[in-house]
């Protein structure tokens, strides 16, 4: 997974058994990756975190892929 300039990505890592964040510079940076990780893994909503809620609804969080690009 290689983020392009201005892109923020998230995916499941089999090796780490956790979500990994990647950013490609040109406006997308480590702070954005940290913020996204916080929302996916720690932000409380519903009955738990976003990832816990996916699992509770019968989804497999390890198949989650996310990619977003900055506005030009």
pLDDT for residue 1 = 60
pLDDT per residue, tens digit, the chain (72 aa), is 688 899 999 999 899 988 899 998 888 899 999 999 888 888 877 778 888 888 999 999 999 999 999 988
Residue 6: its pLDDT value, please? 92
pLDDT for the residue numbered 67 = 94
Backbone conformation region of residue 11, classed left if phi is above 0, alpha if psi is from -120 to 50, else beta: beta
Other Cβ atoms closer than 10 A to 68: 13
- The predicted pLDDT at position 59 comes to 96
């Amino acid at each position: 997974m290689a983020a392009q300039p201005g892109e923020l990505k998230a995916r499941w890592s089999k090796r780490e058994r956790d979500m990994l964040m990647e950013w490609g510079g040109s406006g997308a940076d480590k702070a954005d990756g940290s913020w996204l990780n916080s929302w996916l893994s720690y932000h409380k909503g519903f009955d738990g975190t976003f990832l816990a809620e996916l699992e509770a609804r019968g989804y497999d969080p390890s198949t989650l892929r996310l990619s977003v690009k900055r506005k030009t």
